[in-house]
């Protein structure tokens, strides 16, 4: 139904509405789990921006990957992403998701998350402060409103690229429907 309204006033209204209430599922690994919870407390209060935690992938709009990913963990993240409903957004959190961070030379660490999943926004830092996290959320909301957060569409159109990268690291990846 959305394709019917693409590039129209209706799509602008849909984008505006989607950015108003976002639920995130955070996949916290390593030290990434330390900086995210303070953004949920009263001092930073991310809920004032319409962002809150989700209990399951089916309820989430944003998948936040914080910290490093081992190849074994990557498989679980892919399964989680594929369970989420469209539109869905991926936020890479910290240096580890960008270039492997302090684990850059490890054989078992995923170096570039965007080779395996379409990342809509990275928040750089080791670890990013709560202020940077909130700024990243606001940037993602702006990208959603103008229609630039289209990773879920790229995942569909470039599926063979992502799949081949996933299989190079993991071997066969069984898809869950």
Return the CATH number of the domain spanning residue range 22-169.
3.40.50.12280
Pairing state between β 121-123 and 22-28: unpaired
Helices (H), 102-149: 130-146
Averaged pLDDT, 142-156: 89
The pLDDT of residue 152 is above 90 = yes
DSSP SS3 for 139:
helix
DSSP SS3 for 133:
helix
DSSP letter for each residue of 50-103? TEEE-SSGGG-SEEEEES--BHHHHHHHHHHHHHSPSS-EEEEESHHHHH-GGG
Averaged pLDDT, 75-80: 90
Confidence label for 45 from pLDDT (cuts 50, 70 and 90) = confident
The pLDDT of residue 89 is above 50 = yes
Please give the Cα distance from 10 to 15 (Å, whole number): 9
Domain residue ranges in the chain: 22-169
Among 127, 132, 110, which residue's Cα sits nearest to residue 119?
A: 110
Confidence label for 3 from pLDDT (cuts 50, 70 and 90) = low
């Amino acid at each position: 139904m959305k394709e019917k309204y693409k590039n129209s006033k209706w799509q602008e209204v849909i984008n505006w509405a989607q950015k108003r209430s976002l639920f995130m599922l955070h996949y916290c690994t390593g030290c990434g789990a330390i900086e995210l919870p303070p953004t949920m407390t009263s001092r930073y209060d991310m809920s004032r921006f319409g962002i809150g935690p989700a209990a399951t992938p089916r309820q989430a709009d944003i998948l936040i990957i914080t910290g490093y990913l081992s190849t074994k963990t990557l498989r679980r993240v892919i399964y989680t992403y594929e369970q989420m409903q469209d539109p869905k957004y991926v936020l890479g959190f910290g240096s580890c998701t960008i270039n492997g961070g302090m684990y850059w030379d490890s054989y078992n660490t995923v170096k570039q998350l965007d080779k395996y999943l379409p990342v809509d926004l990275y928040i750089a830092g080791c670890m990013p402060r709560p202020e940077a996290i909130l700024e990243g959320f606001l940037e993602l909301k702006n990208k959603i409103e103008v229609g630039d957060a289209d990773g879920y569409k790229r995942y569909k159109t470039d599926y063979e690229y992502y799949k081949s990268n996933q299989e190079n690291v993991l071997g066969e990846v069984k898809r869950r429907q």
